[in-house]
A and B are shown apart, each in its own frame.
Chain A
C-alpha cells in the first residue's frame, strides 16, 4: 500500500521560500494550432491556399484559459479523454511549444518524460545514448558521466549497455529512458503515461522512484489514464476536456467526475445508434 507523499495542503512541505512560491504557475494559458501549418505540408498545398486566398482552415485551440499552480511537494494528475489537450499541456510546461496566450512560470529544474526513449539513436549503444540524451536535456557533461553507472544500474539492462539500442526490447528502451529522465534530480518532473511500461518488477521500481522524487519536495505533473495512480499517489487532480479545465480538486472526486462524464459521453454516443 502506497500512501500519498503529502497529505493535504496544511501539512504539506515547510513554508520555506521555495515552498511558498509555486513551482509551476500557469495563468490563462492558451495554445493555438494553425491548421494551415500542420504536418506534411507541401508546396502544392501552400500554393493552392495562396491561389484560393483562404487562410487555410483557420485555427484550433488545443488549450484555452488554463490556470493552475503546483507547489513543491505536490503531485498533480491531469486526466481527461483523448485529445483533451493533456499532452499539449505538458509540452507547454516543458517549454517545447510556446503558449499563444497566457503565462507559464516555472521555478526550479525541470525534467520531462513525455515519450520514453523517443530521442534515442537506434545505431548508438545504450551508453552513448545516455550521454547524447543528457546533452540534449542540457545536463552538464561531468554530471551525466558521474551518474552514468547509476543510470545503467537502475535501468538494469546489464551487458546490453554497450550494444546498439536497436537490439533492445521496447521494455528495455523504456527503462533506460525512465532511468535517464529521473536521474537528474529534477525539481519538477513531467510524466506522460510512462508508468505503465516495463515488467512488474520495473513498474514497482519506477513507482518507488517517482514517490521518492515526490518526497524530496519535488513537484510532479502526471498525465495518465490509469486512475489507480491518480487516487493512490497524486494529491491533486485536474480534469480537462476540449482544452479547458473542467474541475480541479481531490483526486477521488475528480476521478469520479471524470468517470461519470465519460459514461455520459459513451451513452450519448451510443444513443443515436439504437
Chain B
C-alpha cells in the first residue's frame, strides 16, 4: 500500500512533466504526416468503411444501421489499442534518459495513456458528423453518457498500460506479442457483431462465447453501443463491475510497477 501512495504522489508532484510529455507526444504525432491530426478523424472512418464492406456486403450479415453499430465500437477500440501500443514502449524507449536522470518512471506510461485521450476526443468529430448526416434518428440524450463509459475504459487502459510498460522492460517480446494479442482481442470483443452472433458461437463453441463475455470489453463496448447506437442507458451493474475490477487491477499494476522500478536503470 505504501508503494501505491508513493506512485500517486509521484504522479501528482510531476503533473507538469506529464503535461509536457503529453504535449510533446501530440505534437510529434501531428508532425509526422501530411494531414497531421486529421488522421485521427479519417482513421476510424476508413476502418469503418472497410468493415462495412467486409461484413455487410461480403458476409451479408449486418445489423441495422451497421455503420453506426460498428463505429460506436471502433472508436473506443482504436483508442485502447493505440494507447496500449504506445505505452508498452514508453519506459523501454526512454532507456538513455532513465540511465541519466533520476525521476519517477511511472510518469511515462501515465503520459502515454493520457495522450491517447485526445485521439478519442478527436474521434467525436466523425461520430457527430456520421450521426448528424446519416443517422439523425439515432441521436439521443444518452450520448452525454459517453464520457462516463470512457472513464471506465480509461481506468482499465491505465492499469493494463502500466503493467505492460513495466513487463516490456524485462521482456521485449511483449511488444511483438501485443500486436497479435490486440487483434485477437478485437475479434473476441463484440465490436463487429452483437448478441445474435455470440448466441451462435455459444452453440458451437461455448468456451469462446464465455471468453467473449468475461472480457472487460464486452460490457464496455456494449455500454458505448447502448448510449450511441441504441439510445438507452448502459447496463450500470456490468459497467460498475468492470470499474471495480479495473480499479483493483490498477492498484496491483501500480504496485508491481513501483516494485520493479528500481531495477529499470540496471536492466535497460
Which secondary structure characterizes the binding site on chain B?
helix
Q: Is B236 an interface position by the 8 A CB rule?
A: no
Which of B76-84, B91-99, B220-228 faces chain A?
A: B91-99
Pairwise interchain contact A114-B100, C-beta atoms closer than 8 A: yes
Pairwise interchain contact A95-B31, C-beta atoms closer than 8 A: no
* Per-residue contact bits, chain B 19-41, to A (CB 8 Å; 1 contact, 0 not): 01100100110010000000000
Q: Give the CA-CA distance A214 to B178 in the complex, in Å.
A: 50
Q: Is A266 an interface position by the 8 A CB rule?
A: no
Pairwise interchain contact A123-B27, C-beta atoms closer than 8 A: yes
Pairwise interchain contact A95-B102, C-beta atoms closer than 8 A: yes
Q: Is A46 an interface position by the 8 A CB rule?
A: yes
Q: Is A257 an interface position by the 8 A CB rule?
A: no
**How many residues on chain B are close to A (CB under 8 Å)?**
28
Q: Give the CA-CA distance A131 to B14 in the complex, in Å.
A: 13
**How many residues on chain A are close to B (CB under 8 Å)?**
33
Q: Do A38 and B267 form a contact, CB below 8 Å, given A43-B171, A94-B102, A95-B102?
A: yes
* Per-residue contact bits, chain B 96-118, to A (CB 8 Å; 1 contact, 0 not): 11111111000000000000000
Q: Give the CA-CA distance A38 to B27 in the complex, in Å.
A: 34
Pairwise interchain contact A123-B31, C-beta atoms closer than 8 A: yes
Q: B224 → chain A, closest Cβ, in Å?
A: 33
**In chain A between 91 and 124, which residues have their CB closer than 8 angstroms to a CB of chain B?**
91, 94-98, 112, 114-115, 118-119, 121, 123-124
Q: Is A138 an interface position by the 8 A CB rule?
A: yes
With a cutoff of 8 Å between Cβ atoms, the chain B residues found around residue A138 in the complex are: 14, 103
Q: Is A48 an interface position by the 8 A CB rule?
A: no
Pairwise interchain contact A118-B170, C-beta atoms closer than 8 A: no
Q: Give the CA-CA distance A38 to B170 in the complex, in Å.
A: 9
**In chain A between 166 and 207, which residues have their CB closer than 8 angstroms to a CB of chain B?**
none
Partner of A98, one of B28, B100, B262, B268: B262
Q: Is B16 an interface position by the 8 A CB rule?
A: yes
Tell me which of B16, B27, B268 has the highest count of chain A C-beta atoms within 10 A of its own C-beta.
B16
Q: A179 → chain B, closest Cβ, in Å?
A: 16
| Closest A residue by C-beta to B28 | A123
Pairwise interchain contact B172-A42, C-beta atoms closer than 8 A: yes
Q: Do A97 and B96 form a contact, CB below 8 Å, given A37-B170, A40-B172, A123-B27?
A: no
With a cutoff of 8 Å between Cβ atoms, the chain B residues found around residue A34 in the complex are: 266
With a cutoff of 8 Å between Cβ atoms, the chain B residues found around residue A96 in the complex are: 98-102, 265
With a cutoff of 8 Å between Cβ atoms, the chain A residues found around residue B21 in the complex are: 132
With a cutoff of 8 Å between Cβ atoms, the chain A residues found around residue B266 in the complex are: 33-34, 37, 97
Pairwise interchain contact B100-A43, C-beta atoms closer than 8 A: no
Q: Give the CA-CA distance A135 to B101 in the complex, in Å.
A: 11
Q: Give the CA-CA distance A91 to B266 in the complex, in Å.
A: 10
Q: Can you pick out 15 interface pairs between chain A and chain B where the beta carbons lie within 8 Å of each other?
A: A34-B266, A37-B170, A40-B172, A44-B173, A91-B265, A96-B98, A96-B265, A98-B263, A115-B96, A119-B94, A119-B97, A123-B31, A135-B16, A136-B17, A138-B103
List 5 extra interface pairs beyond A96-B102, A119-B101, A138-B103, CB under 8 A.
A41-B171, A91-B99, A96-B99, A96-B265, A135-B16
